[in-house]
Amino acid sequence: MRLGGVGASPGIAIARALVVVRRPLQAPYAVLTDEAQVAAEVERFNEAVAATEAELNAAKADLSGGLAEYAHIIDAHLLILRDNMISQRAASYISQRRINAEWALSLAVQEAQSAFQRIKDEYIRSRFADVDYVTNQVMRHLIGHQTDDIARIRDKVIVVAHDLSPADTAQMDLDWVLGFATDMGGPTSHTAIMAQARAIPAVVGCQRASRVVQNGDLIIIDGGEGLLIINPDEETLHLYRERQEAYELYSQEVLAQAGQDARTADGVRVHVVANIEMGAEAGGVAGYGAEGIGLYRTEFFYINKRQLPTEQELLEDFQDVARRMGDLPVTIRTLDIGGDKFAHSVDLAPEANPALGLRAIRFCLQERGLFKTQLRAILRASSMGRMRIMFPMISGLGELRKARAIVEDVMTELDHRGLAFDRQIKVGIMVEVPSAVMVADHLARHADFFSIGTNDLIQYALAIDRVNEYVAHLYQPLHPAVLRMIDRVVRAGHANGIPVAMCGEMAGDPRAVPLLLGLGLDELSMNAMTIPRVKQVARRTDLGLWRAVAQEALTLPTASDVAELINRELNDNFPDIFGAAASEKR
């Protein structure tokens, strides 16, 4: 059986499925008739709690390397497990009401949920999710369900889930995970970005994969094509084993050339840089041929943290990145919280439409203290590296002026404190809101660079929620409206003498690269592991030809017309990489 989805991270994985069940478990109901039954039931409940505790402790002990950061999530889970509100209450319900352990636990959880709902503090209220998670683990033991214990994966598996949160993936030992398939999510979801960063094939938006696939099924995922195959026949298995081998060989070949410059066939230099989400990643990007950092998403410091980071913590991290990158540019994006990125350490009011709400620069202009702390750290780190500041979600010149004025204030403060920084630091913006595209000429006079964030630009331009799997098929980077926006931004930037980069996922799609270069982009920023492929394609691109292709694409009426044109040109000009014969092999 085959299920289609969205190819989120390329490559082919073949392995047994580990299905992560996150749907609520149905508690059975039973009445206990005598004291012996009650005692046995309490005992059974305590055993389930102890088993859950042992698993959590083991998961914590297994957190390795960069994942050690997440130990506090498991600590919180352990505290909840032992909290009287759940464990003691459930145990006492068993004896007082003479009901089975599952039913007693579900009553205790319901009561905890109503207590949480009454709490005013949004952060604490939202922590019911942790209570839910922990009690589900206990329930699973009681019901005798196959455990979904992702924290203790010790076999090579493909993880199949309805959805995965950063907390889920943080607990997995990714050395054992050969691939991901999720029902939810689009090409820019957390699972997609994390899988790409770790070079793990992934298919997201499969809609019903977690219901159709059974634990232990042999599955194939093709992260390039967006395909999940369940229990394939021998012939299919053989074909995909060959494709997998060819893909791996090809990736190695391309990786071997990653260190070379990306100069187009007609000699134009293209800058290919990396997107990172944690400072520690900076150490590995040069190995993939990155010529700098084009987007450092700094949300990591705020997500899953109870407290805001201090200036010193931020400074140390930014200095560390600067040190690792030497004289290469490091573009630090100021906090982009809100929308699909929420943080516990930051108090965000619940909003009906968070993607259109108090997000990113809007939030920072309101929370000046937090914003200034971040700017101070970036500026101070700029004395030892080529830092660039980038503001997310700028929608017009008013916001850019306000943000720049705050940078000036912070510079004055640092002067007073006698602290060094790079006074010439480049300050640029992400162009990811359609209004910014329309006033790009004004913005270009007040920004040192542009970086187009297609993940959001496409979402806002086409009115397609980027994390909603039901509309994932309508999320079309090649939509003529999107191409015209890119064209407009590039022209406005160049007319005002500033470089124009792209840092959305589109920049890392090798099939889109010749077109993007034809549209005039100067820099492409992406997950480091896709850099070698993108550089290879850029080196083979005849820019003169692709400028003409881009002009033609701008006149076409629909995304499928553009795709047809691009596919034809890729097939003719890169037959060994994108031609029909090549995709047969890969």
Residues facing residue 386 across a β-bridge? 329
Q: How many CA atoms lie within 13 A of 241 on its CB side?
A: 8
State how far the Cα of 336 lies from the Cα of 581, in Å rounded to an integer: 42
504 binds, among Mg ion, ligand PEP, none (CB under 5 to 8 A by kind): ligand PEP
Whether residue 514 contacts residue 504, with contact meaning beta carbons closer than 8 Å, is answered with no
Q: Where are the alpha helices (DSSP H) in 118-219?
A: 122-126, 128-143, 166-171, 190-197, 209-212
The span of 230-238, 260-268, 430-438, 578-586 binding Mg ion (CB under 5 A) equals: 430-438
Between 504 and 532, name the residue whose CB sits nearer to ligand PEP.
504
Whether 203 contacts 223, CB under 8 Å: yes
- 273: nearest Cα among 499, 576, 542: 499
- DSSP summary character for residue 188: T
Q: What value, to the nearest 5°, has the Cα angle with vertex 95 and ends 93 and 101?
A: 60
Question: Residues 454, 527, 541, 573: which binds ligand PEP (CB under 6 A)?
Answer: 454
Which residue, 93 or 391, is less far from Mg ion as judged by CB?
391
Beta carbon nearer to Mg ion, 179 or 185? 185
Cβ–Cβ < 8 Å for 122, 348: yes
Stretch binding ligand PEP (CB under 6 A), from 114-122, 263-271, 450-458, 484-492? 450-458
Q: Does 10 bind Mg ion (CB under 5 A)?
A: no
What binding mask, one character per residue, do residues 40-79 give for ligand PEP by CB under 6 A, x or -? Answer: ----------------------------------------
Tokens linked to 350: 């619940």
Quote the CA–CA distance of 485 and 64 in Å, as a whole number.
43
Determine, following the binding rule CB under 6 A, whether residue 362 of this chain makes contact with ligand PEP: no
**Residue 451 burial (CB count, 10 A):** 31
Q: Least distance (Å) from ligand PEP to the CB of residue 31?
A: 53
From 44, 89, 297, 402, residue interacting with ligand PEP (rule: CB under 6 A): 297
Total chain residues near ligand PEP (CB under 6 A): 11
For ligand PEP, the closer of residues 247 and 301 by Cβ is 301
Q: How far is the CB of 54 from ligand PEP (least distance, A)?
A: 37
Instruction: Show Cβ contacts of residue 255 under 8 Å, excluding neighbours closer than 6 positions.
Output: 288, 532
Minimum distance from CB of 101 to Mg ion (Å)? 46
Q: Can you tell me which of 106, 135, 136, 188 binds ligand PEP, judged by CB under 6 A?
A: 188
Nearer to ligand PEP, 53 or 469 (CB): 469
89 binds, among ligand PEP, Mg ion, none (CB under 5 to 8 A by kind): none
H-helix or E-strand spanning residue 19: strand 12-20
Sole window of 302-310, 376-384, 446-454, 463-471 interacting with Mg ion (rule: CB under 5 A): 446-454
| Minimum CB distance to ligand PEP smaller for 12 or for 464 | 464
Active site residue 364: no
Selection from ligand PEP, Mg ion, none that 536 binds (CB < 5 to 8 A by kind) is none
Exactly one of 162, 190, 271, 479 is catalytic; name it. 190
Of residues 256, 247, 224, the one with CA closest to residue 536 = 256
Place of tokens 């694409």: 553
Cα–Cα nearest to 164, from 303, 21, 56: 21
Contact region for ligand PEP (CB under 6 A) — 101-109, 245-253, 453-461, 547-555? 453-461
Neighbour-count burial of 44, counting CB atoms closer than 10 A to its CB (0-12 exposed, 13-18 middle, 19+ buried): middle
Provide the terminal-to-terminal Cα distance of the chain, rounded to the nearest Å. Answer: 21
Catalytic residue ranges: 190, 503
Footprint on this chain of ligand PEP (rule: CB under 6 A)? 188, 295, 297, 336, 432, 453-456, 503-504
Interface residues with Mg ion (CB under 5 A) are 432, 453, 456
